[in-house]
Structure 1
Amino acid sequence: MPFGTDIVGPQRPVTEWPPLRPGTRRRTSTIDTHPQNPHTGDVQLRARDVQSNSSGNHDVLDDVVVLARLTDRVIDEISGDDPRLGRLRGARVGAGFRAIVRDLLGSDIAGSPALYLLLDDWVGASLVTGYGAHHADITGGVEWPMSDGISDHLTGICSGFAPGASAVDFSRRNLLMPCVRGPLAPPLGEMHPAEPLRPHGMRRMRRLDVLPDGAAAAFDAHFRDSHVDAEGIETIVHEYTVVGEIDLASLSISHLAAQARVLPWQECPGALASAQRVVGMAVGDVRDRVRTEFTGISTCTHLNDTLRSLTDAQALLAAG
């Protein structure tokens, strides 16, 4: 029984990024996962910070590349410029991994370096790779089997799985997890070099622009999860944008507006109101406070991850 298109969430993808205006500082990141078999995958994590200058070009402030291979989410191999990365071999990218990363980077995390964003964001990106794995396994359908009781376990974790939500109701009645095929992923704008995704690959992409102007700094954040199918067609799984301002005197968020661009189910945008709870928070506190305070059906895991990345604005502001 197909998951009806009448209960699918918003399908309004971002089609282009704003140009890099002089003085803008931009952080982009990608976490690309390419499965080698049902258990093993190669991962490339990359982030770059740039600042646009008056000549219309940009200066690279930071550029980080990490390569890894995982088996059942356990890191078998990892390499990068930071020698501390070797200590992550044998760690599982899942529950508890962020604590390992904080211990690994120590006091460095206070400045929100690009490496911290990549390692912290790896947990969410790893969870989403299940979408690609299931697409590689199914043929001719858009759902995959689930055991009895799994929908009860998921109920209540976010707005899309609120009690009585369409995805919950569908999975209980059919013992199938709905798997919505999103819209095509348009190419965007100025980003660090990234290889095209291979078939069944998944990409978690971020952009954060910060532009100081007087007593405030405007920010513009974009988050997208995408997937490439067996034919090489890239479609969007999740996508949010968040814009607002930072008060530079207090380094706190003075206002914010979030938009759901692409989401799988109609109940998912119900989480948007939760974003207003970030207003008034110190920028440096947003990552940890969202992780601990934003839970349950009023929120969305992917919106929360988008909001958490706003803490990176402090690194971009300090770079000026």
Structure 2
Amino acid sequence: MPFVTDIVGPQHPVTAWPPLRAGTLRRTSTIDTDRYDAHRTTAQLRARDIRADSSGNEVLDDVVVLATLTDHVIDEISGDDARLARLQGVRVGAGFRAILRDLLGSDTTRSPALYLLLDDWVGASLVTGYGQHHADLTGGVEWPMSDAMSDHLAGVCSGFAPGASAVDFSRRNMLMPCVRGPLAPSLWGDGMHPVKPLRPHCMRRMRRLDVLPNGATATFDAHFRDSHVDAEGIETIVHEYTIVGEIDMASQSISQLTPEARVLPWQECPGALASAQRVVGLAVSELRDHIRTEFTGISTCTHLNDTLRALSDARALLAAPG
């Protein structure tokens, strides 16, 4: 059978976001990728920062970036920031984040919404391979694997640890495993930026980060989801995490956090959750670089790592004027 069913991970989708309390700072973002064929895609990257109060939501920042790509290389890109034009011809993949640091300079330390979108584009671009895999399997075409390819996967992350069920499946069947996730509950509501419905075979990476200052601490509540729309227009979840915790305002560091794996493809994927405790005590400003260099191998998960890295956006929200 084309879709694997017996080695799937947790399937407990988030069904609602927490209500916006007065004083909450909320950043939402989406990266929508529309695949026209195996090579050409378009991408819409959008983010918005708001502050909630009793009289309504104040928009602090609103960013939209549009791009077309061929084999992950940017053909055209547009947005309000003139620096974006310098990304034309750049591949969204390995090395892209280093280019962003040169392009945005000091903005990378302030974590504006534009930086989140461009930094997160690398992971979102990588995951779009699921859409092609899903379409091929639906059409009856399975992806062959070799021993060398299985060896390359083994050790990448907790879900592909040596001996993990996905690695074992690929070696026994010489096929790339693929799962169909649960239905994606709609979460659009108060404080979310506008989005268009996804077309068939499109993918969306969505984030929400709520930060609420409360004297000596600030609480945070983060949500991350990758989803896919199939040929019938049904949206299902590929990856989903939530993280709640606190920031010590005096040291601007993570004082506690609790991650939860809501939807993941493989049984072993949740083994990465323990790695999140390694950021406790780290300054929020250090998260992106520290996680990028130190969180590797089978104790971690690429998607959890990116969600932890995105917690650095709390500093931009806490520094918002007013």
TM-score (norm 2): 0.97
Partner of 1:97: 96
Cα RMSD for the two superposed structures: 1.2
Partner of 2:108: 109
Partner of 1:73: 72
Letter in 1 for 2:226: D
CA distance in 2: counterparts of 1:142 and 1:212, whole angstroms: 51
Partner of 1:179: 178
| 8 Å CA contact retained: 1:270, 1:298 | yes
Partner of 1:37: 37
CA distance in 2: counterparts of 1:9 and 1:137, whole angstroms: 22
Which is worse superposed, 142-151 or 183-192? 142-151
| 8 Å CA contact retained: 2:4, 2:178 | no
- 1:118-143 alpha-carbon deviations (Å, 9 max, x no partner): 00000000000000012222226695
Deviation at 1:144, TM superposition (A): 2.7
Partner of 1:11: 11
Letter in 2 for 1:43: A
CA distance in 1: counterparts of 2:2 and 2:230, whole angstroms: 19
- 1:266-310 alpha-carbon deviations (Å, 9 max, x no partner): 000000000000100000111111111000000000000000000
Partner of 2:303: 302
CA distance in 2: counterparts of 1:181 and 1:4, whole angstroms: 8
CA 1:177–1:216 in 2, change beyond 3 Å: closer, same or farther?
same
CA distance in 1: counterparts of 2:198 and 2:173, whole angstroms: 33
What are the equivalent positions in structure 2 for 1:131-280 lying under 5 Å apart? 131-139=130-138, 144-188=143-187, 189-190=189-190, 191-280=192-281
| 8 Å CA contact retained: 2:4, 2:177 | no
Deviation at 1:4, TM superposition (A): 5.0
Partner of 1:60: 59
Partner of 1:290: 291
Letter in 2 for 1:52: A
CA distance in 2: counterparts of 1:72 and 1:316, whole angstroms: 34
CA 1:82–1:67 in 2, change beyond 3 Å: closer, same or farther?
same
Structure 2 unaligned residues grouped into runs of 5+ = none
| 8 Å CA contact retained: 1:142, 1:179 | no
Letter in 1 for 2:109: A
Sequence identity (%): 81
- 1:79-117 alpha-carbon deviations (Å, 9 max, x no partner): 000000000000000000000011000111111000000
| 8 Å CA contact retained: 1:258, 1:272 | yes
Letter in 1 for 2:35: P
| 8 Å CA contact retained: 1:244, 1:255 | yes
| 8 Å CA contact retained: 1:66, 1:78 | yes
- 1:146-166 alpha-carbon deviations (Å, 9 max, x no partner): 334111001101000001000
| 8 Å CA contact retained: 1:287, 1:309 | yes
- 1:173-225 alpha-carbon deviations (Å, 9 max, x no partner): 11111110000000113310011110000000000000001110000000000
| 8 Å CA contact retained: 1:142, 1:180 | no
Q: Secondary structure at the match of 1:220?
A: strand
